[in-house]
Structure 1
Amino acid sequence: MAPTAAVEPQRLLNLYPALSGLPAERLAALLQPGAVMHLPAGTAVFAEHQPCQGFPLLLEGHIKVVKLAASGRELMLYRVGPGGSCIISSSCLLGHTEYNARGIAETPLTLLALPVPAFAALMLEHAPFRDFVFHLFAERIGELMQLVEEVAFARLDQRLAKLLLARNEAVLNVTHQQLADELGSVREIVSRLLKGFSAQGLVTLGREQLSIVDRAGLQKMALV
């Protein structure tokens, strides 16, 4: 990781209003040189069984948080965007445990890494920040419960249809392997399902790309 140019305090506050109300000198201390980092796409932000070194506040880009199975397959748990953060990081810091998933820079990232002492002090002394962290817990637990329900009870073709619709784009620049990783499946099965979608006129397939032709049809598939 390499430090970037200084970040204006107001930019941080716009994304993380929970830090409003901090004294100017304390806010400046959080933004000291070296705290704001830049990571290229594909970088491991954190890894399983690694101790947590700080609490990330994302300023630019997206992190995907995945769980790796013993078989080598991955299941995408959730994404973190600007203004959000990672509940796995906060749970590790609060529980004094190691990471039990890994975070990957899905795009180039700019983030502020709150040191462990700064995170602990904010949780203890600054109620808006503490509320922000616990609100994240509530949101993410709801998302993870929905994921558990889908994995346990929904057919893979339903989950694939929902995944394609969730991207909210007519043309998706994505590989079959990437879709399989997000679904916790294998490429061969996802490819077979996509060929079925194509045969039904729901999508057209290209090289590392697919186009949604019949969005209403996919929505029906997702609800079957």
Structure 2
Amino acid sequence: MDVTWSLVLDLLGTFFFAISGCLLAARRGFDIVGSLLLGSLTGLGGGVLRDLIIGVTPTAFVQPVYLIPPLAAALLVYFLVHHVQRFPRTLLVFDAGGLALFCITGAVTALNAGLNPVAAAVLGVTTGVGGGLLRDVVANRDPQLFNPRDIYAVPAMLGATLITALWYLGLFNVVSELCVAAVVFTLRVLSLHYGWRIPHAAGSWHTPRPDGQ
């Protein structure tokens, strides 16, 4: 196994997402096995979805090193959860870190597989939001992706699009990866702080019917 920057960023993103999954498991009162499983699902889910769409064996099943971040996250939350939970938005910050890294590594993996730029950007977004979506559904929580008071997918779209554009312009390198990740992370954190949101599916002039239709 060659240790590359892409692998390092992928493992780091897996760890950040796994932390968010384990923190949610702790809040839900799961045992440590449930924490490990939810952390693994969160950290690895987006990448597995990406690889299945591309048509290759999921990287998480080929390289056992991908199992280390969820295990480390479960142990870290087990021993330090009371210190971490003093900060109410810790889960969202770790989620933002995973989102920032995965939307990039997802797009890069798709580009390396020879996909066109549109498909690569879409798979970057899928990788970024997939783990969080699976985490929320399994933990019986309203998915953050569909929260009307959040712009969860927008930073991932921006990051995947930027990294794809840089790839085709010949400007893709480690520095550009880190810069795009920083932009996505900053946008996500600022959106949480200031409560940014995007327009609803129906305009403000539309009055919802009592049955929700």
TM-score (normalizing by structure 1): 0.28
| Higher share of residues assigned strand | 1
| Structure with larger RCO (C-alpha < 8 A, sep 6+) | 2
Larger radius of gyration between Structure 1 and Structure 2: 1
The TM-score, its normalising length taken from structure 2, stands at 0.29
